[in-house]
Amino acid sequence: MGLSVSASAAILFVAFLICFGSLFGAATKYYATVDEILEESRENALAVQKISLEFTDIDEASGSFALKNTGSATLLLSDFEVLVNGTLVLPQELSINIIGHPGSDLILPGDVALFDLDEPIWGCRIVVFTTMGISMTHVPTG
């Protein structure tokens, strides 16, 4: 009877060590992932603080408007989405060009991007937003 109790205790002890090792490994991986996500979140928050946009010119008759990057972050043309009166403008219905840098995909600080919708936007509410969540809204007057 003494041998079976000792053998059972040894088996339980080894099982406990294996379970503890698995649990410790999973917990370590979990906390490392949480740390990575928090760091990425901090970096995104800093990037958002560097983004600032302003409408500089709106030509309602031609359906174009200019947006100036007044922040210190560099943006990509693919970072932008446009809503006109609450309707998303599809990428094939919109052309964006950097004034002074034709063919560039980067909107550097101080650059002006010309958005052309090829249709009049009389009295339309325009919202331009980036993939980082920054938005700029033009509300027509009158």
Q: What is the mean pLDDT of residues 117-134?
A: 89
pLDDT for residue 67: 94
Domain span including residue 41: 1-49
- Tell me what the mean pLDDT of segment 42-60 comes to: 87
Regarding whether 37 and 88 lie in a shared domain, the answer is no
Query: Please, which pLDDT band fits residue 82 given cuts at 50, 70 and 90?
Result: very high
The predicted pLDDT at position 1 comes to: 56
Condensed to tens digits (0 to 9), the pLDDT of residues 61-71 reads 999 999 999 99
Residue 112 belongs to a domain with what CATH number?
2.60.40
Longest Cα–Cα distance in the chain = 97
Assign 84 a pLDDT band (cuts: 50, 70, 90). Answer: very high
d(CA 93, CA 79): 16
Q: How high does pLDDT run on average in the chain?
A: 89
Note whether 81 and 99 are same-domain residues. Answer: yes
Q: In terms of domains, do 34 and 99 share one?
A: no
Residues 33 and 65 in one domain: no
Q: What total of structural domains would you count in the chain?
A: 2
Do 62 and 124 reside in the same domain of the chain? yes
Q: Residue 54 and residue 106: Cα distance in Å, rounded?
A: 17
